[in-house]
Structure formats: C-alpha cells, structure tokens
Structure 1
C-alpha cells in the first residue's frame, strides 16, 4: 500500500536517508516499509505492507508515518536545502557582489545560522513550525514536492533566512570598511620616520595604558599631549588615542605588556594588524613586574 510520494527535485538520496533514519523504529516493530525511487522525476515512493501492522489501524499508522517522515524531511531541509536556499537568495538579492564576496557572505550567513542552532538548540526556532506545517499538509495530501512546499508553505522561514543574509551582508561591509581603514593606517605607518626604536605599551586594569621607551621612560611629549587633549574634547576612546599615538611615534618595534585582560583583546588585535611583525606580546615578564611594583609604591 502506497503511503506517501515525495518529489525531491535534487539530492533524493539525502532525503531518503534522512527519512529512513526517523522511520527505522517501524522496522524495529516488524512493520515492512520500502521505498522506491523514480530517477526520471526524482520521486521517492514509500510503500507499506498492511499485513505487518498489528498495533495500529491503517489510518492511524499512516498518520503516524507521515508525522515521523516529517521529522526526516525537516532534517533534510535544514541540512541540505537550507544552504542552497541561502545561496540562491544571495545570488538573487546581492548579485552586484563578485563571486568571492558572495562566497564569503554565504559562509557568514551559514555560520550565523549554525550559531543560532547552538545557542537556541533549534536554528531560528523553526523546527516545530516546519514539522507542524508538514504534518498539516500531509493531513490532506499524500504527495509533496519539496521545492514547492518550501516556496509556498514556508514563506516565513525563508524570510527569516533573508534577515540572516542581510545581517551577514552588513557585517561583511563593516569588516570590508575596517580592513580598508587598516590598510590606510599601515600606509601612514610605512611613510613615517620612526621616532623611537622600541615602544612598551603597559595595559592598565582600568582600560587605560601608558607608553614607555626602551629605557623605561614614559613617552609623553608635547605632541602626544595635544593629541590626547583634542581627542578628549571630542569624546574619542582610549583605543583611538593609543592607535593615533603609535602611528605618530611609528616605532620599529612594539612590546605590549599585561595582555591577559580580555578587555584589551580588540585593541591588541588592531595594533597587530596595523604594525604586523613589529608587535610582540608578553604577559607578566620582568618588565611588567617592575612596573607593577613601581605602581604599588
């Protein structure tokens, strides 16, 4: 007896495997179910042997089978169809990006969806909605076209994916702008004449810092004081002040001390990106210990 017919469009084998993982419990009960595949139409047909059904009425079993198969179809949609849907949406909505840029946006969107799945134990909170939509559809239908079902019955789900893509594009553009800014700062560093050989950056607990030369003398010349005063008037952060100071000094080498505080992670990474191989990190070296003792005294 035929139970359901599924048009897979593509990846019929993946869909079959996903469904079979969920309906395996019926085989464990001794119920004989087989699937046939029509390659010309990518159609999967599930057939049961009614004589092997002992604990259910035929109608109850068909309903139970459809619900169980819906779990497998959901798994297939999320793991196989979802990346393809996201890719198609990016190509449709953001075709003005080049191929490499679209690939990066795709990866960002997929990473975002996977993160949501980990954080919420259900990516986008859609599992119950999609499964119930499938179950409702199967109440009056025994044949389903996966592509058509997604297009016409899962519009809200697709809209959620569009939001994820929009956020991925926004993040991509922000990072692109940031990278271009870093390149500009590198250029300024390259054309500057070094004013000192080595600068020690001592990161303080209160998200502040001090600059020292290689002799342990604090660098605090008039020009840096003017920068600090101007930036303070414009409510500019200590991080921006530090970057401006380093570009002005343009040292040959930079050693950053007391790097264990996670609050400094962003600014340290920025310094490393601007000054590249000139940057060295330490944590609690002899120099740090001496400065800490001086501070306590």
Structure 2
C-alpha cells in the first residue's frame, strides 16, 4: 500500500500515528517513508486485521485531528458564506461542543444516522480492502468521503442555529443592560433576594420582606428577539433597579441566577444561602 501526500508534515503525522498504534517493533506491519512524500505500508500477514486495527484508525484519527478543522472552515465559507474568521472559530467551537455530547444528550436533529467517526471507518475500510492500492490522500479526502462531509454539514447547521440563538441572547442581555443604565431613580438602593421553596423572596436593606407587583415593563422588554423577560425575578429587579443586589443561593449555576449576574454585572453579589439567615439576626 502506497499513500502520497501533498505535504511532508502530513506524511510525518500519519507515519507517527501508525507507529504509535502498531509499535515500532511490529514485524507484521512495515512503514517506510519514500521520496516524493509517499508512505509505503507493507502488511506481511493478517492483512484484514492489520488494516482494520492500525491503518484505518490511524488515517481516521489524522483526518479528525489534523484535517477536520480546515474542512469545517472551508464548508462555513463556501456553503454557508461565513467568511469572518472570528465567527468561523466560534461556530467551530460550538460544533465540537455538540459532537462531544453523549448519545442521550445529542441534539434531536443529529440522533439519526452515524457519527462521523463511524462514517470515516466505513469509507476507509471499503477503500483499503486491497492492500496493494496506491492512492493520493488528498484525492481520497476530496472525492471518497461524501457521507462524512454530509455529516459535517449536519453538525454545522445545528451549530449555526445555536450560534445565532446565542447572538440574539447576547443582544437581549445588552438591551436590558442599557435599560437599567438609563434609569436614574430606584425604589430601593439595596435588595436581598433569597431562593426559598422554588420561588424568589425580596427583602430591603433592613431585611424586611416586601412584595413587588410587576404591573408592566415597557413594551420593548416584554419580548426581545423572542426572549421573554422573567416575571418572577428579572422583571421586578429591572423595575426596582437597585444599586446593590445580594443573591443568597444554594446553586450559583441556577439559570436565573446566571442571568441576573449577566444583566446587572457588578451590582450583584452572590452569597451562600445560609448567610441570609445569619444576617437577619
């Protein structure tokens, strides 16, 4: 089996992967670098086993680790017309986040069909069934991986949807920041919020409990880009617009707590749940 590469670095990486998988003293598999960026692989026995156990995994790993990021960038540019490098990088990061999910948490659009690793293994196994083959790696990458490319497109489509949703969410948060920045008067300078029995309770600077009825926010903030303003915690805080917000929580990763921190930023101080009762007495 002979594989030609366009770049010496690619040949070197594939050779290193093969040797790391098969071992340098494996007599059943000989790996030799030839001139003109060609890799010669000789299988002395157990041909099918050697191809399936060493050659296919090495090439598959090389494609995923070395070639795939560039493939994603090319697809984003030529198919989806995302040319900005920063945007491309953010979407690619989302792609890999999606890919890393286990089967149970995989995005609904991606639950059907094979994972990309399986598609690469299938394509390589069929293509390399004859060990006497001589081929260009770049040509194989370009013309023999249709199912793999289609799967990459599936990943990108989902990642773009999530990227746009994240952008809309950040615009929503920024609009709420501008809203509180424009308010010059506040009902309370300091508010303490404690999460009890699955609801948020409000206390003033003297730790006296109060309720705040949300009559209405300005129309612009009932729904911004499809995101509704939470009426239990976010809306009251927007209307009160305190200079200091103390949140007493058991779980700092609670979605609503994170949202308050994103909107009010330096105004927010997060404290352990038990501190609230200590300060009341």
TM-score, structure 2 as length reference = 0.80
Q: Is the 8 A contact 2:94 2:159 kept in 1?
A: yes
What's the offset of the Cα at 1:218?
A: 2.6
Cα pair distance change 1:34/1:149, threshold 3 Å: closer
Equivalent of 1:108 in 73, 82, 94: 94
What's the offset of the Cα at 1:154?
A: 2.0
For 1:116 and 1:285, the matched residues in 2 are separated by 36
For 1:125 and 1:133, the matched residues in 2 are separated by 13
Aligned to 1:256, the other structure's residue is in SS state strand
Partner of 1:75: 61
Cα pair distance change 1:267/1:162, threshold 3 Å: same
For 1:125 and 1:96, the matched residues in 2 are separated by 24
1:148 aligned onto 2:139: yes
Structure number with larger C-alpha Rg: 1
Q: Is the 8 A contact 1:90 1:106 kept in 2?
A: no
Equivalent of 2:129 in 139, 156, 164: 139
Partner of 1:231: none
Partner of 2:15: 16
- Where structure 1 has 5 or more consecutive residues not aligned to the other structure, the ranges are 229-233
Deviation >6 Å, runs of 4+: none
Aligned length: 262
Partner of 2:182: 191
Q: Is the 8 A contact 1:197 1:251 kept in 2?
A: yes
What's the offset of the Cα at 1:255?
A: 0.4
Cα pair distance change 1:78/1:116, threshold 3 Å: farther
Aligned to 2:209, the other structure's residue is in SS state coil
- Would you tell me which structure has more helix in proportion to its own residues? 1
Partner of 2:109: none
CA RMSD in angstroms comes to 3.2
- Where structure 2 has 5 or more consecutive residues not aligned to the other structure, the ranges are 107-113, 218-222
Aligned to 2:247, the other structure's residue is in SS state strand
